[in-house]
Amino acid sequence: MRQHLFRNGRRPGFRYGRTAAAAVALGLTAGLTGCGSDGPSHTTLTLVAADYDVDGGQSSKEYWAKLAARFEEKNPKIDVDVHIEPWTNVDRKVQDMVKAGKAPDIAQIGAYADYAAAGKLYNVDRMLSLQTAANFLPPLAKAGEHRRTPYGIPFVASTRLLFYNKKLFEEAGIEKAPASWDELRDAAEKLKEKTDAEYPFALPLGPEEAQAETMNWLLSAGESYTVGGGSYDINSARNIQTVSWVKTNLVDRKLTGPVAPAELNRKMAFAAFARGEVGMLNGHPSLLRIARKAGVDLGTVPIPGPKGTPYNAMGVADWIMAFKENGNRVQAGKFLDFVFSDENVLAFAGQNNLLPVTVSASQAMEDDPKYGDLKNFLEPLPKSVLPPVGKTSWAAVSAEIKQSIGKAVAPGGNPKAVLDAIDRVAEQADIKSGE
């Protein structure tokens, strides 16, 4: 989801374990002790986690501080040494630690597959309690599998909805939000003709998150990047038709605004929506906070499908995982069982306008009126389709989509040729990874 979602300036890590000072005298270190239940009497777990605070505050730091303190109180023989890193740096930080032979015990980052393929992660089923492992929403748990073995644990999730500006819709005389592609095109035409909206429909296909925006469209038409999460099929006939429709009906009609889709990043599109310059765009839950803080009167509906209800909705997850290097399987498992209590899952998801990843916490959010804004996002999550994050080749394929897909809808662009080229890159990446 980091796709996602949350970026801000760097702040230093922090430490909460009672014996952590000695452990980190030379910076980030591995856990102090050996493995399993036969290990020494006291253990310090090192946790590196991402900063989700979009406002530049301390909410992520405070969340982990309180959680670690409560866990240590219940488990006096285990300390938790916590380091918070911005999304712009957290994946690289963990990568550098692993390369240096100082892997953290637990990392909460954006991807797990490379570490799983290298044999560096604990199997989730050998670490979590049965109750915890069975409580994850099925599509999220499935996405955490590498070669059918679970290594990635979903930490938080989100889905995507179509956002629209109610004030601009009223000015344009649009009485209801679009439910089909044709209705979306027609609404964009009215917004262009009758309002000052700079972006009747904002289409962010820039390199920040083009792979997610594209997947929204592919899924709404009933396909995706892969066949059942297995082999790539990026240039399928239906995918070509989908991208061609977007080009012909939105971009060529100049309904996507002054910035070319290939140059429009998600962050830019969200900021324009918050300024009241966008009639419609696809967005995730964090846009609710951004737009409402700016005073935008907005509505959300499912992303339209070709003829109405979309065939599938996209889900996105960020991941937490435990490294084998320090041998602290049992202690890490205890901590992660604690992390995924309903109280903790709801607290983090709620404060960040994200979705819980467990069945019980999702039900609790559904039943609690204070999470009313998130219920439309919560509804499609149990049946959502995630990107093929369990494939080690996905990183290379995602990067290629980010760099190339905007060309498919550009003036003179050829959707088939672009998707053919991306598919060739995907096939080569699969061969290289042995998948």
Exposure of 145 by Cβ count < 10 A (0-12 exposed, 13-18 middle, 19+ buried)? middle
Whether residues 49 and 166 fall in one domain: no
pLDDT at 40: 57
Does some domain include residue 349? yes
Does some domain include residue 388? no
Whether residues 125 and 89 fall in one domain: yes
Question: How much of the chain, in percent, has pLDDT values that exceed 70?
Answer: 90
Q: For the residues 97-108, what does the mean pLDDT come to?
A: 98
- Domain hosting 38: range is 20-159+316-383
Nearest 5°: phi and psi at 160?
-120, 140
Does some domain include residue 13? no
Whether residues 182 and 104 fall in one domain: no
Inform me whether the pLDDT recorded for 34 exceeds 90.
no
Whether residues 235 and 259 fall in one domain: yes
Whether residues 205 and 303 fall in one domain: yes
Whether residues 115 and 199 fall in one domain: no
What mean pLDDT is reported for the chain? 90
Q: For the residues 391-413, what does the mean pLDDT come to?
A: 96
118-127, 228-237, 317-326, 414-423: least confidently modelled range: 228-237
- Using one digit for the tens of pLDDT, what is the confidence trace for 337-353? 999 999 999 999 999 99
- Using one digit for the tens of pLDDT, what is the confidence trace for 164-206? 999 999 999 999 999 999 999 999 999 999 999 999 999 999 9
Single-letter amino acid code for the residue at 173? G
Number of domains the chain contains: 2
Taking alpha carbons only, the member of 397, 384, 395 closest to residue 427 is 397
CATH number at residue 57: 3.40.190.10
Strands 43-51 and 106-109: parallel
Q: Return the residue matching tokens 């084998």.
A: 324
Whether residues 342 and 299 fall in one domain: no
**pLDDT level of residue 229 (50, 70, 90 thresholds):** low
Of 361, 383, 405, the residue at which a domain comes to its end is 383
Whether residues 148 and 166 fall in one domain: no
CA 122 to chain centre: 22
pLDDT at 2: 44
